[in-house]
C-alpha cells in the first residue's frame, strides 16, 4: 500500500470547513493509537508531489514533510502550481505510475 500526497499541507483550521477539520482530527487520533507496524502498513511508502511554483504549499512545506516521513519520495514538478495534477497532468501521472511500479516489486 502507498500514500500519495499532492500539494499537501497540514493547515486544516481555516482552510477547511469545521466538519472536515473534525473528521480529519478523528482520523489522526485513530492512527495515533495503532501499532507502528499498522501505521506503516496503512500509510507508507509515501509519494509527495509538488509544483515548483506552488505558493499555497511551497517547497519548504514539501521538504518538511519529506524529512518527517521516513522513506518518502519527493517529486517536484516543473512549471506547476498548487493544482499540479491539472496543470501538468502528464508529468503528474508519470510520477505516480513510476512510484507505484517501483513499489510493486
DSSP states of 20-77: HHHHHHHHHHHHHTS-HHHHHHHH-SEEEEEETT-SSS-HHHHHHHHHHSTT-EEEEE
Q: Which domain holds residue 99?
A: 3-104
pTM of the model: 0.63
Q: For residue 31, what is the domain's CATH number?
A: 3.40.50.1820
Mean pLDDT to the nearest integer, 31-47: 78
pLDDT (0 to 100) of residue 25: 81
Using 50, 70 and 90 to split pLDDT, how confident is the model at 81?
very high
Counting the structural domains of the chain, the total is: 1
Amino acid at each position: 500500500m502507498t500514500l500519495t500526497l499532492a500539494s499537501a499541507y497540514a493547515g486544516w483550521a481555516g482552510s477547511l470547513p469545521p466538519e472536515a477539520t473534525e473528521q480529519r482530527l478523528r482520523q489522526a487520533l485513530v492512527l495515533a493509537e495503532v501499532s507502528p507496524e499498522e501505521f506503516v502498513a496503512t500509510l507508507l511508502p509515501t509519494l509527495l508531489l509538488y509544483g515548483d511554483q506552488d505558493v499555497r504549499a511551497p517547497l519548504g512545506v514539501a521538504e518538511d514533510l519529506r524529512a518527517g516521513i521516513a522513506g518518502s519520495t519527493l517529486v517536484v514538478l516543473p512549471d506547476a502550481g498548487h493544482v499540479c495534477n491539472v496543470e501538468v497532468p502528464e508529468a503528474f501521472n508519470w510520477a505516480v505510475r513510476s512510484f507505484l511500479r517501483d513499489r510493486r516489486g
